Amino acid sequence: MLTRLDDYPIHQTPEPLAHGAGASLNQYDRYFFNGYNHDGSLYFGCALGYYPNRRVMDAAFAVLRDGEVVSVIASRRAPLDPIETQVGPIKVAIEEPMQRFRITVDPNEAGVEADVVFTSRTAAIEEPRYTLRSGAVTSFDYTRLTQWGAWSGNVSVDGEEHQIVPSEHVGCRDRSWGVRPVGQQPPGEGVEPQFFWLWAPLWFDDCCVHFDVNEYGDGRQWHFVGAHIPLLGSPEEAVPGADSTVTWASAVEHSIKWQPGTRWSESADIRLHMHNAESIDIHLEPLATFQMRGLGYLHPEWGHGHWQGELEVHAERWRVADTNPMDPFYLHVQQLVRATWGDRVGVGVFEQIVLGAYGPYGFTGLFDGAP
């Protein structure tokens, strides 16, 4: 089966590009974006995923404003041509690879609309490959890139328009592809799930800093990233290879004070042990909490890769303060944080999902909160 992409010299196998190299139902290819202002009064996020072996493409756009999450999620039968990145009212357009992306959200029943452009301010950095096996089964095997940028355009909620300007609204994007649990999963083996994940892309006036870590329940790290990334003079410099000036960490650490009864941070300290350089120590203070359910993560009905029909659109909203932080469908969060690194004060997000037992912080069950 041929698509327009077959006219480009990008084949990795003898097959047409419509035939993926992997047969796993969990094969995926995904976009993620977030944007926010420096005082934490507005956060927005967008995600679009393609699941070729499930024949599904889904997308979501959500806004956090005044403590309320407003979300629109759409799902469709996957197009034969994966370059068609629109699901219902939500469209992600690559205007210039690695440099400029446009997200539009047409009128919908959620009452949220957008026309925003992400312009890169750093190179896109390739994170080490994520691979995790559970017995003989490969649960995760994927690559992710992360890139920082500034936003322009407008976002409106219930008719109230927010002007988005690059001097005030920044954020990041990531692209990941490979295999990870999506859609309906096969029956388990009676083992209680465990997943520990922290992700912190941070903005400062003169640079960006990246931190992430995955750990087993006993605290052993199976994946980590630490990096110092310079800001570029123009988006045109954000081409592959421009990340040669990135400084990488040889190890990372974290110390989190948890909000009582939750698995959300009250504050956190992260340390990047830089290769051939001084360590970077950053203190994080939450300004606002966005629940990733708004973008389909851990959603009980509109989770990633689930078949919803030829085309369906779903709207919902809730106040963060009215939810139970230990409800599994609200557990996964991105906290907008103030980041303090010596004399530098920046902004960014601190994403957290702590599922199951995790000894170093005293979590012993599936969903017990901090004392």
More confident residue, 187 or 132: 132
pTM: 0.95
Query: What integer pLDDT is reported at residue 184 of this predicted model?
Result: 81
Long-range pairs for 5-14: beta carbons < 8 A, 24 or more residues apart: 5/81, 5/82, 5/83
Q: Given a cut of 70, is residue 241 above it in pLDDT? A: no
Residue 187's pLDDT band, with cuts at 50, 70 and 90, is low
Bridge partners, 77 (sequence order): 56
The CA-based angle 13-15-17, given to 5 degrees, is 90
* Residue written as token pair 């649960």: 139
Residue 191's pLDDT band, with cuts at 50, 70 and 90, is low
* Residue written as token pair 């934490």: 40
Q: Given a cut of 90, is residue 189 above it in pLDDT? A: no
Q: Token pair for residue 335?
A: 């906290």
Q: Given a cut of 80, is residue 237 above it in pLDDT? A: no
Query: What integer pLDDT is reported at residue 95 of this predicted model?
Result: 96
Query: What integer pLDDT is reported at residue 190 of this predicted model?
Result: 52
Residue 138's pLDDT band, with cuts at 50, 70 and 90, is confident
Contact by Cβ (8 Å): 289, 332: no
Mean pLDDT of all residues in 20-26: 83
Query: What integer pLDDT is reported at residue 15 of this predicted model?
Result: 83
Query: What integer pLDDT is reported at residue 315 of this predicted model?
Result: 98
DSSP string, 206-271: SEEEEEEEEE-TTS-EEEEEEEEEEPPSSGGG-STTGGGGPEEEEEEEEEEEEPBTSSSEEEEEEE
Q: Given a cut of 80, is residue 367 above it in pLDDT? A: yes
State whether residue 217 is helix, strand or coil: coil
pLDDT-wise least confident of 135-139, 183-187, 352-356: 183-187
Contact by Cβ (8 Å): 87, 316: no
More confident residue, 16 or 56: 56
The ranges assigned to domains in the chain are 28-361
CA distance 203 to 348: 6
pLDDT-wise least confident of 80-84, 98-102, 125-129, 162-166: 80-84
Over its C-alpha atoms, the chain yields an Rg (Å, rounded) of 20
**Which tens digits make up the pLDDT trace of 79-88?**
988 889 999 9
Residue 233's pLDDT band, with cuts at 50, 70 and 90, is confident
Query: What integer pLDDT is reported at residue 289 of this predicted model?
Result: 97
Query: What integer pLDDT is reported at residue 242 of this predicted model?
Result: 53
Mean pLDDT of all residues in 159-164: 97
* Residue written as token pair 């944080």: 337
Name the CATH superfamily for 28-361.
AttH-like domain (2.40.370.10)
Mean pLDDT of all residues in 290-310: 97
Mean pLDDT of all residues in 250-278: 96
278 CB contacts (<8 Å, ≥6 apart)?
none
Give percent of the chain with pLDDT exceeding 70: 96
pLDDT-wise least confident of 35-44, 112-121, 185-194, 339-348: 185-194
Mean pLDDT of all residues in 151-167: 97
